[in-house]
Amino acid sequence: MHRVLSGIAPSGNFTLGNFLGALRHWVSFQDGHDAFYCVVDLHALTSDIDPAAVRANTLDAALNLLAIGLDPERCTLFVQSHVPEHTRLTWLLECTATMGELRRMTQFKDKGQGQEAVRVGLFTYPCLMAADILLYDASAVPVGDDQRQHLELTREVAVRFNNRYGETFTVPEAAIAGTGARVMDLQHPERKMSKSVDSPLGTIGLLDSDEEITRKVRKAVTDTDGEMRYDRAAKPGLANLLDLLAAATDRSPNEVAAGYERYGDLKNDVAAALCDLLRPVRERRARLESDLPYVHAVLSRGAAQAHEVASATYARAADAIGLLPAPPAT
Ligand code: AQP
C-alpha cells in the first residue's frame, strides 16, 4: 500500500483554501493508502507567536481534522512535536541542502517581507518540511499548489542524500488537485487565501456560519465588464468564484461559466454550494468539542504509531551519514 503524508500548521483558523486545496483530499487518501497526517506545530513557531495561542491552535487543528472526516481507524493522526525524529532528521537535511536552495523559496520571501528580524526558522523550515515527509517514506504528498516548490526541494534533498550516502529515502511526489489547488482571497484575488493573513471579508473560515459565508461571497470582488468567462489573469476575482463552484461541484470552471450570465446568480450558487460543503464539518466539530479526552487519545495513539515508522527511518539516515548508533537506554 502506498504511504501518504501531509501536514497543516496550527497558525490560525483553517480556511476554505486549506480545505479545498489539501484537507478534503486527505480524507479521500485514507482509502487504499497508508495515510499519515500531522498538525505541524513546529512550523507555527517561525513568526512572532503567543505560546497560549500555539497550544490552543494545535488542539483546535486536531479537532478540525477529525471534523473534516479523518478517521483514526483509517489513518494516523498526530502532532509533529510529539515525534522527536522530525527535528533530529531536520539537522541532517540542513547539512544536505544549500543556502542558495533555501534562498530561492518564494514563501520565505513572501513571509519574510517587511519583517525587520526574520527568524532563522523561517529560512530553514523547508528542511523541516522535507524531514516531515521523508521520515514516513511517503510516495505521495497531498498539498495545495503553494507547496509545489517545497516539494521539489524535498525531492532534490532526498535524491542528493541517497546519491551521496546510499539509498535511504523514498523520493516523494506532490499530489496537487486540479480545481481548488489555489483558492484566492475574495477581496484580493491576486493573493492566496491564507489563515495567517488578516482579511476578514476575503477569507472564508472552515467553521464560518452559512450567514458569514453568504455575506463574504456576495461581497467578493469581481470586475465591471460583466462578461462571464474564465480568465485567471484578466478576471481573477470572477475566476476564483468559478473555481470555487467548480471545486465544490466537481466540474471544470469553464463548464460552470457556461451556465451563467449574471455575476449575482453565480455568487448565489457559490454561496449555497460552499454552505452545503462546510455545514457537515461544522456539525461534526460541535459534537467533537464535547469529547476532548477522545481527541487527546487519538493524538497519543497517533504519536506512538508515527514514532515507530519515523524512528526506523531516522536510524537508517543517521547510520548512512556516519553517526554511531545510540547506546541502549539504561
Ligand atoms: N489558498 C489556498 N488554496 C489551496 N490550498 C491551500 N493551502 C493553503 N492555502 C491554500 C494548502 O493547505 C495545506 C496546509 O497549509 P499549511 O498550514 O502548510 O500552510 P500554508 O500553505 O502556508 O497555508 P496558509 O493557510 O497560508 O497558512 P499560513 O498562513 O500559516 O502560511 C497545504 O497543503 C497548502 O498547500
The 10s digit of each residue's pLDDT in 156-185 is 999 999 999 999 999 999 999 888 889 999
**Which CATH number does 210-287 carry?**
1.10.240.10
Q: Residue holding cell 487565501?
A: 193
DSSP class per residue in 209-223: -HHHHHHHHHT----
Measured in whole angstroms, the distance separating CA 292 from the mean position of its chain's CA atoms is 23
| pLDDT of 111 higher than 90 | no
Confidence of residue 187 (pLDDT cuts 50, 70, 90): very high
The residue whose CA has the least distance to atom 15 of ligand 1 is: 8
Tell me the mean pLDDT in the region 197-218: 97
Give the pLDDT confidence score for residue 107 in this predicted structure.
80
Ligand 1: distance of its center to the CA of 246 in Å?
19
44 Cα to the center of ligand 1, angstroms: 12
CATH class of 2-177+292-321: alpha beta
Quick one: average pLDDT of 259-282?
A: 97
Query: What is the distance of C-alpha 327 from the center of its chain?
Result: 37
Ligand 1 centroid, distance to 20 Cα (angstroms): 10
Per-residue pLDDT, 28: 95
Query: Tell me, what's the pLDDT at 230?
Result: 96
pLDDT value at position 114? 73
What average pLDDT does the segment 113-133 reach? 91
pLDDT at 300 over 80: yes
As a whole number, mean pLDDT of residues 48-75 equals 97
Q: Tens digit of pLDDT for each residue in 229-239? A: 999 999 999 99
Probe ligand 1: pick from 5, 41, 111, 147, max atoms within 8 Å of CB?
Answer: 147
Q: What is the pLDDT of residue 1?
A: 82
pTM: 0.95
Contacts of 102 (CB under 8 A, 6+ apart): 108, 123, 124, 126, 127, 153
Residue in 41, 146, 152, 184 to alter for ligand 1 test, most ligand atoms within 8 A of Cβ: 146
User: Residue 116 pLDDT > 80, yes or no?
Assistant: no
User: Quick one: what percent of the chain has pLDDT higher than 70?
Assistant: 100
Model pLDDT, residue 112? 77
Going by C-alpha positions, the residue among 44, 35, 38 that lies closest to residue 9 is 44
Which residues are tagged catalytic?
111, 192, 195
DSSP 73-89: TTEEEEEGGGSTHHHHH
Give mean pLDDT, residues 249-263.
Answer: 95
For ligand 1, which residues put their CB under 6 angstroms from it? Answer: 8-9, 11-12, 15, 17-18, 20-22, 143-144, 146-147, 181-183, 192-196
* Sequence ranges of the chain with CATH classification 1.10.240.10: 210-287
Closest by CA to 275, choosing from 213, 184, 204, is 213
Query: Which atom in ligand 1 lies closest to the alpha carbon of residue 146?
Result: 35
Q: What is the pLDDT of residue 3?
A: 96
Tell me what pLDDT residue 117 has.
83
pLDDT of res. 330? 75
Helices (H) and strands (E) in the chain, counts: 13, 5
Q: How far does the centroid of ligand 1 lie from the alpha carbon of residue 196, in Å? A: 9
CB contact at 8 A, 121 and 143 = no
Range scoring the smallest mean pLDDT among 142-146, 185-189, 204-208: 142-146
Q: Can you give the pLDDT at residue 13?
A: 94
Residue nearest to atom 7 of ligand 1 (CA): 18
Å from CA of 137 to ligand 1 middle:
22
Residue 48: pLDDT band by 50, 70, 90 thresholds? Answer: confident
**280, pLDDT greater than 80:** yes
Q: Which residue has the cell 520565505?
A: 108
Q: Which atom of ligand 1 is nearest to the CA of 197?
A: 29
> Whole-number mean pLDDT of the chain?
95
Q: What are phi and psi of 318, to 5 degrees?
A: -65, -40
What are the C-alpha distances in Å from 6 to residues 37, 46, 142? 5, 19, 6
